[in-house]
Every structure is written in C-alpha cells, then in structure tokens.
C-alpha cells in the first residue's frame, strides 16, 4: 500500500514541480506581500494610522481566508473526480493501490502545496511585528488557524470528490457545505428573534458555530483583537482537525461504494438528453409568458389576501412580504408551469433542442445548450436568482425593522443589493461559462475541428462570450430590476451634480464619478473574464479561482496605489495650493492610469487567448 501511495504522491509533487504555473503563483504571492509590506512601511514612515503592522497583517490574513475558501472549492474537490473523469481510477485500483493509498496519494500533494503556499508567507509576515500593532504570538495563532482551515477544506473537498461523479458536482457540494451553516444560523436567528430560546436550540446553535467552517472567522477576529495573549492552538484548530480527520475517514469508508460502478459518459449523456427533451427554450419562454401575469397579480393581491386571512389593514401589510411572495411564486411556480407546458407540447424524438442556428451563431447555440445547460440551466438560474432576491428582501424587511409600516420600505435599498449581487454573481457566472466552454474544447480535443470552420478565431471567442451572456439572462434581469429601483436616487444625484457642476469643478468630478466608476467596473469584469478564459486554456481546474485571485490582487494593488497617490499629493500641497485642483487630480489621474492599464490588459489578454487557442488547435 505504501509503495502505491508514495508513487502517487511523488507523481503529484513532480507534476506540480514541473509546472511553471505553480512556481509563478508562489512568486506572485511573495511579490504581492512585499508590495503590501512596502506600502505599510511608507505608512509607518509618514506616521499615518496607529498600527500599520496590524493593518498589513489583517489584510494578509483575510485575503488568505477568502482564497482558502475559494481555492478549497476547486483545489481539493478535483482530487478523486479527475481520476473518475479520465477513467483512470480503475487502473489505479488494478495496480493494487487500495482506497486509503489513493486518497493519501491524491490528497497529499495538494495539501502539501496549499500548506506550502501558506508557509512561504510566514517569514515575510513576521516583518509586520517591526511595524507595530501585532505580536509574534498573534501571527503564529493566525497561521495555525489558517492551517486548520486548510485541513478541514481538504477533508470536505476529498469527501465531496469521492461522492461526486464530476468535479463540478463536488465543487457544488463544497459550496453548499460552506453556505449551509450560514443559512442554518440565519434560520436559528429568526427563531431567536421570535422568542424561541430553548436550551436545546442554543446548544444546537453553538454546535453549528463550532462544527461550521465559519468558526474560523470568529477565531481570526479573536486573535486579531488587541491584547491577545492566549495559546496559538485554539479550540477551532482541534475542531477543524477533528472534522478533517472524520471526513477523511468517511471518504475512506465510502470510497469503494462510491467508485464501484463508474458512471459512464454515455449514461450522463442519456440523462441529459432525457432532461433536454422535456425542457426546451421555447417551452421555457412560453412558461415565462404564462407566469409573468401571475406574478403581477400576486404582488397586487397579496396585501388584500393577507388582510382577509389575518384581519390586518392592507395598508399595514409589509411590502417585503409581497416581494417575498412574488419571488417564491416565481421560484416554485415556474418549474411547475414549465413541466406542464412540456407535458402538453411534447416534441417528437430527435427534435429535442430544435435545429442549430445558422452561420457563426451555431457556435453560440452549441455552447448555450451543451455548456451553459440550455433551457434547464436557465430555469435553474431563474429559480436561484428569485430565491436570492426573496432572501435579500426578507433580510432587509425583517431585520431592518421595516415591518411596522409599509412606507418604511425603501425600494432603492433592495435595488442596490439586487444590482450588486446580480453583478457579482453574473460576472462569476459569465467567467465560469466562458472558461468551461473553452476548457471542454481542450478536454474533448475539438479545437482543431472548430478551427477548421470558415469562422475566424475571433468569431469563435466572441461566440463563447455571447453564449455565456445568453445564459446570463436571469442575472441580467436581476441587475436591470435593481437599476430600475435605483433610478430615482440616481437621477436625483445626477441633477444635484449638474447643478453643482455649473460653478464647481469638484461638482463636475462628482458628476463624472458615476460613469467613471461604471467604465472601471466594466473593464474589471472584462479583465476577469479574459483571465478566466486564458487560465481555462492553460490549467485543468481552478481557473475561475485563479482569475479571481489575480483580479483581486490587481484591484488591491490599484486601490493601495490610488490611496498612496492621493496621500502623496495631499502631503505635497500641505504648504498651500489649489485644493480644488488637487481634489480633481486625486480622482482623475488615478482613474486615467487605471483605465489605461485595464484597457492595455484587455487587449493583451485578448491576443494571448487567440494565440493560445491557435497553438492548442495546432497541437490537438
């Protein structure tokens, strides 16, 4: 067993050692830390802020936390599923490697890599002590906490990887496991607010808080607080190590059962074909048309229905309840209506998704149906975004105390959240769709046949993007509704800006700040999507996370540079000068620089993607 395990581990480590990407990632990490350290040192020299060391260390700590969470969803989840997908798990078993050996051999190198990424930071982060505000004990405690967090994410990832048939499914499982304790805590909080404070409930709450991987947030907060002088080994570490061990043992015990009968591509295809023969685009379109009037009716009628049941005056029925009612009707009703419509309009065999769209649109058709999930994927997203909107409305209405009188409800607040959540989720979804579209072409070796089509490579890349955009209709609708709700405050802000801009340059800058921010956000989305596409053509998994890491760091570095520029200008003009001009420069110059860099990045990545596709097409 030991020989097989060692062979697998050595293979994994060698593979990673030979990949320049892993070394580049480590180098990038260290470079970024040094940059942030340099900024903190400047802060220290010019004596801005009370504890630059703590500021620097907090930034590094929470950045690590975010990326361990994101990385854990993809890095560990593919450990076993990649063998299942490549149908090599049977070969490993036949080679005499037992389940424990496979688990250790596959998880070991990944765990070693993740811990190594954490370990290389340690010497640099200790420099924070010299800047003040943080003790060595705190640094040790944080890194031990994060190591425990990596362990539990690894345990969770490998368990999901054993159970799931594909990496995507495993990642979904881990994401749900990460989010579930939050939802449970939310539900428990609702009970708590309702006065249900039974001892059993509080025990349950505490147990969830400790079992949940989110206890790491609590522990980090505790460690980072001033005057921390406890042991670096907290209860969270033991809980996480215990949880990781339990999940690893469970993975071992269920390994044979879960991998005995490999799920063939033909079976998966058969299921997806059955599903898509029921849910078609036209069916979904018709169902939406049927459901829309029902939603309007629910919104209008809800206060009266509630009044009829409870006796409350319709004027006093909270608006958020009507919003929640509408989103629930959409989330539950639309699938039912679609199923009914599909049953009534049954299609003959061989006409599942209709004919392909002609010309260059054929590429969009293919990716929309076979990468983004087609009509079923759209239906799933509509349900998901409805539920998210309903949850936001509930949280704002219930916890924000907007229950006493309907006039307390502010549409723009919901609009802001819908815009923000829709934009972030939509961006990730777009990047994921584009990345998956390209990755599958590489995986199935179809780039050479696609490259042979009379469409240019440019058309092919744009088609990938457009098919991703087509799948974004639910997220885009959410963003649009959010924007409509924000129309009134936005218009008011613009009118004020115009009034001020007439006689004040600062007013003009304020007026321009919204479109300026809009341009930057668009460019950032473009850079993120392109980075995902490029990484999808370069690495097998984790491309979205890696792109997110790079975008996040670029953003942080840009933000810090922007602040430093502002600070330098302010300090330089302390002896006097035109303060209005200064304020304008502080906003405009960094914006111009950031836009220029972003545009250059967008163009460079666009060319890099094209070149990479051509290279891969020539190779395949």
- The two tokens of residue 59 are 């930034």
Instruction: Using CB under 8 A, pick the residue from 261, 313, 358, 503 that binds another protein.
Output: 358
Report the nearest approach of another protein to the CB of residue 354 (Å): 10
Query: Under the criterion CB under 8 A, does residue 347 sit at the interface with another protein?
Result: no
Number of residues in contact with another protein under rule CB under 8 A? 47
Sign of the dihedral defined by the CA atoms of residues 353, 355, 358, 362, in that order: positive
**Residue matched to tokens 């811990």:** 115
Q: Give 310: exposed, middle or buried? Use CB within 10 Å, 0-12, 13-18, 19+.
A: exposed
Report the nearest approach of another protein to the CB of residue 425 (Å): 26
d(CA 277, CA 342): 9
**Residue matched to tokens 């607040």:** 413
Report the nearest approach of another protein to the CB of residue 595 (Å): 21
Q: How far is CA 493 from CA 241, 417, 497, in A?
A: 52, 18, 6
Q: Give 147's DSSP letter.
A: H
Q: Which residue lies nearer to another protein by CB, 364 or 486?
A: 364
Instruction: Using CB under 8 A, pick the residue from 15, 357, 399, 518 that binds another protein.
Output: 357
Q: Give 520's DSSP letter.
A: H
Q: Give 436: exposed, middle or buried? Use CB within 10 Å, 0-12, 13-18, 19+.
A: buried
d(CA 173, CA 166): 11
Q: Which residue lies nearer to another protein by CB, 106 or 369?
A: 369
Segment contacting another protein (CB under 8 A): 233-241, 299-307, 361-369, 538-546? 361-369
| Residue 298, CA atoms < 13 Å, CB-side half-sphere | 17
Contacts of another protein in 219-278 (CB under 8 A): 264-266, 268-270, 272-273
Report the nearest approach of another protein to the CB of residue 361 (Å): 8
Q: How far is CA 365 from CA 279, 362, 451, 484, in A?
A: 15, 5, 17, 30
Report the nearest approach of another protein to the CB of residue 579 (Å): 45
d(CA 278, CA 347): 8
Q: How far is CA 252 from CA 109, 134, 246, 249, in A?
A: 17, 41, 10, 5
Instruction: Using CB under 8 A, pick the residue from 400, 420, 577, 618 that binds another protein.
Output: 618
State in Å, rounded, how far the first CA of the chain is from the last one: 36
Q: Cβ distance 167 to 180 under 8 Å? A: no
Q: Give 372: exposed, middle or buried? Use CB within 10 Å, 0-12, 13-18, 19+.
A: buried
Report the nearest approach of another protein to the CB of residue 445 (Å): 5
Q: What is the pattern of x (binds another protein, CB under 8 A) and - over residues 69-88?
A: --------------------
Instruction: Using CB under 8 A, pick the residue from 356, 424, 571, 581 that binds another protein.
Output: 356
Report the nearest approach of another protein to the CB of residue 469 (Å): 18
- The two tokens of residue 132 are 């003040």
Q: Which residue lies nearer to another protein by CB, 316 or 370?
A: 370
Instruction: Using CB under 8 A, pick the residue from 171, 174, 331, 363 that binds another protein.
Output: 363
Q: Which residue lies nearer to another protein by CB, 264 or 578?
A: 264
Q: Cβ distance 376 to 276 under 8 Å? A: yes
Query: Under the criterion CB under 8 A, does residue 444 sit at the interface with another protein?
Result: yes
Instruction: Using CB under 8 A, pick the residue from 87, 496, 570, 611 that binds another protein.
Output: 611
Report the nearest approach of another protein to the CB of residue 158 (Å): 27
Report the nearest approach of another protein to the CB of residue 95 (Å): 24
Q: Which residue lies nearer to another protein by CB, 315 or 458?
A: 458
Report the nearest approach of another protein to the CB of residue 352 (Å): 8
**Residue matched to tokens 């215990």:** 242
Q: Which residue lies nearer to another protein by CB, 165 or 205?
A: 165
Q: Which residue lies nearer to another protein by CB, 135 or 282?
A: 282
Instruction: Using CB under 8 A, pick the residue from 110, 366, 439, 464 that binds another protein.
Output: 366
Q: Which residue lies nearer to another protein by CB, 29 or 461?
A: 461
Q: What DSSP element (H or E) covers 162?
A: helix 136-163
Report the nearest approach of another protein to the CB of residue 364 (Å): 11
Count of CB atoms situated within 10 Å of the CB of 124: 15
Report the nearest approach of another protein to the CB of residue 614 (Å): 6
Query: Under the criterion CB under 8 A, does residue 360 sit at the interface with another protein?
Result: yes
- CA 170 from centre of chain: 15
Q: Which residue lies nearer to another protein by CB, 451 or 485?
A: 451
Report the nearest approach of another protein to the CB of residue 312 (Å): 53
Q: How far is CA 131 from CA 39, 55, 134, 140, 553, in A?
A: 11, 10, 8, 17, 22
Q: Which residue lies nearer to another protein by CB, 556 or 620?
A: 620
Q: Which residue lies nearer to another protein by CB, 350 or 401?
A: 350
Q: Which residue lies nearer to another protein by CB, 84 or 110?
A: 84
Instruction: Using CB under 8 A, pick the residue from 202, 231, 310, 449 that binds another protein.
Output: 449
3-state class of 541 per DSSP? Answer: coil
Instruction: Using CB under 8 A, pick the residue from 163, 353, 533, 550 that binds another protein.
Output: 353
Report the nearest approach of another protein to the CB of residue 618 (Å): 5
Q: Cβ distance 396 to 402 under 8 Å? A: yes
- The two tokens of residue 74 are 């993809």
Q: Which residue lies nearer to another protein by CB, 187 or 270?
A: 270
Query: Under the criterion CB under 8 A, does residue 126 sit at the interface with another protein?
Result: no
Q: How far is CA 592 from CA 98, 145, 202, 528, in A?
A: 59, 41, 53, 19
Query: Under the criterion CB under 8 A, does residue 445 sit at the interface with another protein?
Result: yes
d(CA 64, CA 606): 29
Instruction: Using CB under 8 A, pick the residue from 47, 309, 349, 574 that binds another protein.
Output: 349
Segment contacting another protein (CB under 8 A): 200-208, 332-340, 412-420, 456-464? 456-464
Q: Give 408's DSSP letter.
A: G
d(CA 67, CA 21): 17
For 350, left (φ over 0), alpha (ψ -120 to 50), or beta?
left
Segment contacting another protein (CB under 8 A): 114-122, 306-314, 425-433, 438-446? 438-446
Query: Which residues bind to another protein, rule: CB under 8 A?
Result: 264-266, 268-270, 272-273, 349-350, 352-353, 355-363, 365-366, 370, 444-446, 448-449, 451-458, 461, 606-607, 609-611, 614, 617-618, 620
């Amino acid at each position: 067993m030991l020989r097989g395990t060692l062979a697998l581990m050595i293979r994994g480590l060698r593979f990673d050692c030979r990949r320049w990407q892993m070394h580049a990632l480590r180098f990038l990490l260290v470079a970024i830390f040094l940059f942030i350290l340099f900024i903190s040192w400047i802060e220290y020299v010019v004596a801005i802020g009370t504890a630059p060391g703590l500021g620097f260390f907090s930034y590094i700590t929470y950045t690590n936390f975010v990326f361990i969470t994101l990385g854990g969803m993809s890095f560990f989840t593919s450990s076993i599923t990649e063998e299942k997908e490549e149908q090599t798990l049977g070969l490993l078993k036949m080679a005499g490697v037992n389940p424990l050996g496979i688990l250790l051999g596959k998880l070991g190198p990944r765990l070693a890599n993740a811990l190594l990424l954490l370990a290389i930071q340690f010497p640099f982060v200790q420099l924070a002590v010299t800047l003040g505000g943080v003790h060595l004990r705190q640094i040790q405690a944080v890194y031990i906490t994060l190591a425990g967090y990596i362990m539990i994410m690894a345990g969770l990832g490998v368990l999901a990887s054993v159970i799931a048939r594909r990496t995507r499914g495993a990642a979904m499982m881990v994401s749900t496991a990460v989010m579930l304790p939050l939802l449970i805590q939310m539900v428990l909080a609702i009970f708590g607010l309702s006065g249900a404070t039974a001892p059993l409930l509080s025990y349950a709450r505490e147990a969830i808080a400790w079992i949940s991987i989110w206890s790491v947030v609590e522990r980090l907060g505790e460690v980072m607080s001033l005057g921390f002088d406890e042991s670096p080994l907290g209860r969270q570490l033991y809980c996480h190590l215990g949880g990781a061990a339990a999940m690893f043992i469970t993975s071992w015990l269920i390994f044979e059962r879960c991998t005995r009968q490999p799920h063939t591509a033909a079976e998966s295809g058969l299921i997806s074909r059955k599903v898509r023969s029921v849910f078609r685009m036209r069916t979904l379109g018709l169902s939406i048309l049927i459901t829309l009037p029902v939603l309007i009716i629910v919104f209008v009628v809800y206060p009266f229905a509630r009044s009829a049941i409870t006796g409350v005056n319709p004027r006093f029925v909270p608006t958020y309840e009507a919003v929640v009612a509408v989103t629930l009707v959409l989330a539950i009703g639309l699938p039912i209506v679609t199923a009914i419509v599909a049953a009534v309009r049954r299609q003959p065999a061989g006409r599942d998704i209709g004919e392909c769209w002609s010309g260059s649109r054929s590429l969009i058709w293919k990716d929309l149906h076979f990468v983004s999930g087609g009509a079923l994927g759209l239906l799933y997203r509509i349900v998901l975004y409805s539920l998210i909107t309903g949850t936001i409305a509930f949280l704002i209405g219930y916890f924000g105390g907007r229950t006493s009188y309907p006039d307390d409800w502010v549409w723009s607040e919901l609009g802001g959240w819908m815009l923000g959540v829709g934009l972030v989720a939509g961006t990730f979804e777009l990047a994921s769709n584009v990345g998956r579209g390209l990755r599958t072409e590489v995986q199935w070796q179809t780039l050479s046949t696609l490259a042979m089509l009379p469409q240019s490579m440019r058309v092919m890349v744009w088609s990938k993007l457009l098919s991703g955009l087509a799948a974004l209709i639910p997220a885009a609708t959410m963003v649009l509704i959010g924007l409509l709700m924000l129309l009134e405050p936005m218009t008011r802000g613009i009118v004020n800006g115009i009034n001020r801009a007439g006689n004040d340059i600062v007013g003009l800058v304020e007026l321009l700040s919204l479109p300026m921010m809009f341009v930057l956000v668009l460019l950032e989305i473009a850079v993120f999507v392109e980075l995902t596409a490029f990484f999808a053509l370069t690495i097998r998994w984790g491309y979205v996370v890696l792109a997110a890491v790079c975008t996040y760091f670029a953003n942080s570095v840009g933000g810090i540079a922007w602040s430093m520029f502002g600070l330098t200008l302010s300090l330089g003009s302390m002896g006097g000068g035109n303060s209005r001009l200064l304020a304008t420069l502080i906003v405009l110059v960094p914006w111009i620089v950031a836009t220029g860099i972003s545009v250059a990045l967008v163009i460079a990545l666009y060319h890099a993607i094209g070149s990479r596709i051509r290279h891969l097409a020539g190779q395949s």
